[in-house]
Amino acid sequence: MSELILEGQNLVKDYPLKKEVFWEKPKTLRALGGVSLKLAQGQTVGIVGESGSGKSTLGEILGDLQRPSKGTVLYQGQNLRTMKQAEYRRFRRNVQFIFQNPKESMNPYFTIEKILMEPMKRLDDDFSPAQAQQKIQTILPQVGLEPDCLSRRPAELSGGQCQRIAIARALLLNPQVIVCDECVSALDVSIQAQILNLLKSLQRRYGTSYLFISHDMSVVHYMSDTIFVLVKGQVIEQGVGAELMHHPKQAYTSSLISSSLFAEDTLCAVQ
């Protein structure tokens, strides 16, 4: 059995709502209502739901960009909140993110080379400029980029190229987990398929685990071993990808399938 890397136990997230009048009791909006999941080494867990379902909140809590109101996140069996500094630093290095709009997470004044260097400087305990340069030169062809992009800035690259840079930046730290949060939804359809196939290829090479978040059921099915369907912060259905895709039990899941953008043969055809 594969090693368990990341686990969320009964995760709840409440956001405070602004009072209309000062004497009102505080009110909250529940974005997550007690979600639990496990992610093993080399596995992809898909999280699918429409806008407002809580899927991105779940990903951010598992990657510790947000803290849950209740519940526990475990990394290799350790509670994030009780980790020592060195252990938490290892978690931070080993759980990376790829977001919907990569340019928003890139300093527009930095060259691509500096953008790729920064996480290694900050999180790699054995950082050296020479080794970092070598890593960058090794990873670029793996994500389909030429070395001449290193002297450019984000505005000089296309959306697809920037997403490849974001993938390279995540991989340079040799993470165990990458949280892919709507990482292709802002791209043209043909570019989406290329990025998805790139992610699958890199997973085979490195054994990385993915938490794959999207509103598109066909994309989640194509990428995932196990799928969780979220509605208003609740898991309404979960199961093995093919079984859930072809034999959904919930009407909401069926509606997500019928509104899917891709057919799987389209994704497989674009390499």
pLDDT tens-digit readout, 162-203: 999 999 999 999 999 999 999 888 788 788 888 899 899 999
- Asked whether the whole model's pTM tops 0.95, one would answer no
Nearest alpha carbon to residue 262 among 199, 208, 184: 184
Q: How many structural domains comprise the chain? A: 1
Q: Six-digit token pair at 41?
A: 């080494």
Expressed in angstroms, the distance from the first to the final Cα of the chain is 30
* Residue 127: CATH number of its domain: 3.40.50.300
Cα separation, 263 vs 246, whole angstroms = 13
**Domain for residue 76, yes or no?**
no
**Domain for residue 11, yes or no?**
no
Cα dihedral angle (180, 186, 190, 194), rounded to 10 degrees?
Answer: -20
Show the domain range for 167: 40-65+84-269
Mean pLDDT, the chain cut into blocks of 10 residues (271 residues total): 90 88 78 96 96 95 97 97 95 94 90 94 86 92 93 93 93 94 84 89 94 94 95 94 88 89 54 49
What local confidence, expressed as pLDDT, does residue 17 receive? 85
**Domain for residue 109, yes or no?**
yes
Q: Are strands 209-214 and 44-48 parallel, antiparallel or unpaired?
A: parallel
**Domain for residue 196, yes or no?**
yes
**Domain for residue 134, yes or no?**
yes
For 77-116, the DSSP string reads TEEGGG--HHHHHHHHHHEEEE-S-GGGGS-TTS-HHHHH
In 18-156, the DSSP E strands lie at 27-40, 44-48, 70-75, 78-79, 95-98
**Domain for residue 13, yes or no?**
no
**Domain for residue 150, yes or no?**
yes
**Domain for residue 3, yes or no?**
no
